[in-house]
């Protein structure tokens, strides 16, 4: 909250927030934190709030917004590529009238236009009961596989919580770079937290981002053992 307050006091004109399934951590805004941030932003109603709710229909967490009822500038953006596939290059945005007008001006001409065929394909899928059931099942699958893997890590001495999203954010007792190198020699590819840092002089990360939902039970067990050994 204090970081946002400092940015607002410095004159920032727009903020971007991922309200749930933040990449790479999987973090989601709690009701209390959202209310606190929303109260602060209410003092700056003309600061543009952009919410990137990319995991919307797959999320197992409640959506909490920073956009208050009296806020004047906002855009809630929900891409469909996570749950309909990357070929569906389309996002739906709910905005205030001024932002809608400016966005329409930018999207109308040239290569930024979203084809009507693509829009109709997305609409057809999002109004089809079978497709909606598949999306809901996929969301449950991601959550169940991540929860099971996190439990396996915890049993092996690496306490991990499955939050929301496609990935797991694993806290390590040693530098993530060393663990990633050891895993690579065993045939695994893992991204370290170093790749997600923005600091000018970042401290070596002690986190790995893992995507495990597509592994078989046998593969998961092998990765669990390899990771526990690599983190020693």
Q: What CATH class does 131-230 carry?
A: alpha beta
DSSP 157: T
- Residues 202-218: tens digit of each pLDDT: 999 999 999 999 999 99
The pLDDT assigned to 108 comes to: 75
Angle between helices 217-230 and 176-184 (to 10 degrees): 130
In DSSP terms, which residues pair with 25 in a beta bridge?
none
- Residues 58-95: tens digit of each pLDDT: 999 999 999 999 999 999 999 999 999 999 999 999 99
CATH 3.40.640.10, the chain: domain bounds: 2-127
Q: Is the pTM of this model over 0.75?
A: yes
- How many residues are there in the chain? 232
The phi, psi pair for 112, rounded to 5°, reads -85, -5
State whether CATH 3.40.50.720 applies to domain 2-127.
Answer: no
Contacts of 144 (CB under 8 A, 6+ apart): none
Torsion of CA 173, 177, 183, 189, to 10 degrees: 130
Residue 223 buriedness (CB in 10 A; 0-12 / 13-18 / 19+) = buried
Using alpha carbons, list the distances in angstroms from residue 144 to 17, 115, 228.
26, 36, 21
The phi, psi pair for 88, rounded to 5°, reads -85, 80
The pLDDT assigned to 32 comes to: 98
CATH 3.90.1150.10, the chain: domain bounds: 131-230
């Amino acid at each position: 909250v204090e970081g946002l307050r400092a940015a607002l006091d410095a004159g920032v004109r727009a903020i971007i927030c991922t309200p749930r399934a933040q990449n790479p951590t999987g973090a989601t805004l709690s009701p209390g934190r959202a209310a606190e941030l929303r109260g602060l932003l209410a003092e700056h109603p003309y600061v543009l709030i952009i919410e990137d709710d990319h995991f919307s229909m797959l999320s197992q967490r409640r959506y909490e917004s920073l956009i208050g009822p009296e806020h004047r500038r906002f855009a809630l953006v929900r891409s469909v590529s996570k749950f309909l596939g990357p070929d569906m290059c389309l996002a739906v945005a709910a905005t205030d009238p001024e932002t809608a007008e400016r966005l329409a001006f930018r999207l109308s001409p040239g290569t930024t236009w979203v084809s009507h065929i693509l829009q109709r394909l997305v609409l057809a899928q999002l109004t089809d009961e079978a497709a909606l059931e598949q999306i809901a099942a996929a969301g449950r699958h991601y959550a169940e596989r991540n929860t099971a893997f996190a439990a396996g890590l915890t049993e092996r001495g690496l306490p991990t919580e499955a939050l929301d999203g496609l990935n797991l954010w694993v806290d390590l007792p040693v530098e993530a770079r060393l663990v990633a190198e050891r895993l690579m020699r065993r045939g695994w590819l893992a991204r370290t937290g170093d790749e997600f840092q923005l600091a000018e002089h970042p401290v070596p990360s002690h986190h790995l981002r893992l995507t495990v939902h597509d592994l078989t039970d046998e593969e998961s067990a092998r990765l669990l053992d390899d990771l526990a050994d690599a983190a020693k």
